[in-house]
Amino acid sequence: NRRVGLIGAMDEEIALLLEKMDQAVTQKVYQTTYYTGTLNGTPVVVCKSGVGKVNGAICTQVLIERFHVESIIFTGVAGALHPDLDIGDLVISTECQQHDLDASALGFPKGTIPFQETSVFPADPKLIEWAARAGEKLEGVQVRLGKVLSGDQFISDSGKVTELREQLGGDCVEMEGAAVAHVCHLSGTPFVVIRSMSDRADHSADVNFTEFTKLAAERSSVLVCEILEQR
Ligand code: ADE
């Protein structure tokens, strides 16, 4: 089974995938539509999870249990945390962590899940390698490997950006990746998160997000299509 699950949180993030997909059959599970077909010759299941960690987690579990995907690629936009990342640049996840987990009052480090061995979920080395190679084909776009932080918050504050970089070592921040990673980790399903920067998570983030999400979302899905060609 070579079927790959492709998830985006918003319409813009899966638009190009649906456009390029052949013979899509649709099926609704828990109010979400799953599109089964082929993309660049690879069998895929595409879905729009909706925004946030719970939505990301549910789609991931459905893709694994009902659609039996062998791996999952998340595609979409993020706020840049690394100072060298510009709007439109791409991040390939090396690992993901939920930045909004906080049981520090009980002595647990921020971003860690109490009583659980793993809170930082590593992406699949092979998928990272394929994504990096696919990234070399994109001209005029910076593609870097990095740590993806996720939380149920839209970040628009440079103080928070500094905190997320210094405390958790994040390179970009979004709202689903680490939830997808967490679910994949529990079942040993290989995953990678691809994110293009729509903003810098600072005071201009809301304006930038509105202006650049379409461009960034498309860039991320172009990389995903390139990855499928590598396989
Ligand atoms: N997705 C895109 N930009 C974001 C931000 N600044 N915070 C959270 N998720 C995002």
CA of 24 to the centre of ligand 1 (A): 30
Pocket of ligand 1 (CB under 6 A): 77-79, 154-156, 173-175, 198-199, 201, 205, 209
Mutate-to-test residue for ligand 1 from 198, 202, 206, highest number of ligand atoms within 8 A of CB: 198
Find, among 227, 224, 191, the residue nearest to 72 by Cα.
191
Name the residues annotated as catalytic.
13, 199
Find, among 144, 102, 80, 92, the residue nearest to 122 by Cα.
92
Mutate-to-test residue for ligand 1 from 200, 209, 211, highest number of ligand atoms within 8 A of CB: 209
Per-residue model confidence (pLDDT) at position 75: 98
pLDDT at 231 over 90: no
CA pair distance 48, 149, nearest whole angstrom: 20
The pLDDT tens digits for 71-102 are: 999 999 999 999 999 999 999 999 999 999 99
Please report, for residues 32, 79, 114, the alpha-carbon distance to residue 189 in angstroms, rounded to integers and kept in the order given.
21, 26, 23
Greatest Cα-to-Cα distance within the chain, rounded to the nearest angstrom: 52
The pLDDT tens digits for 8-65 are: 999 999 999 999 999 789 999 999 999 999 999 999 999 999 999 999 999 999 999 9
Residues 6 or more apart whose CB falls under 8 angstroms from that of 132 comprise 92, 143, 145
Nearest CA to ligand 1 atom 1: 78
Per-residue model confidence (pLDDT) at position 23: 79
Cβ neighbours, 10 Å, residue 178 = 31
CA of 14 to the centre of ligand 1 (A): 17
Mutate-to-test residue for ligand 1 from 51, 77, 161, 162, highest number of ligand atoms within 8 A of CB: 77
Domains of the chain: 4-230 (3.40.50.1580)
Per-residue model confidence (pLDDT) at position 24: 84
Helix (H), strand (E) counts: the chain: 6, 10
CA pair distance 34, 201, nearest whole angstrom: 30
The pLDDT tens digits for 99-142 are: 999 999 999 999 999 999 999 999 999 999 999 999 999 988 99
CA of 173 to the centre of ligand 1 (A): 6
Average pLDDT score over residue span 213-219: 96
CA of 201 to the centre of ligand 1 (A): 6
Task: Tell me if 121 sits within 8 A of 176, measured CB to CB.
Answer: no
* Residue given tokens 């089964």 in the structure block: 36
Per-residue model confidence (pLDDT) at position 1: 63
Nearest CA to ligand 1 atom 2: 78
CA of 49 to the centre of ligand 1 (A): 16
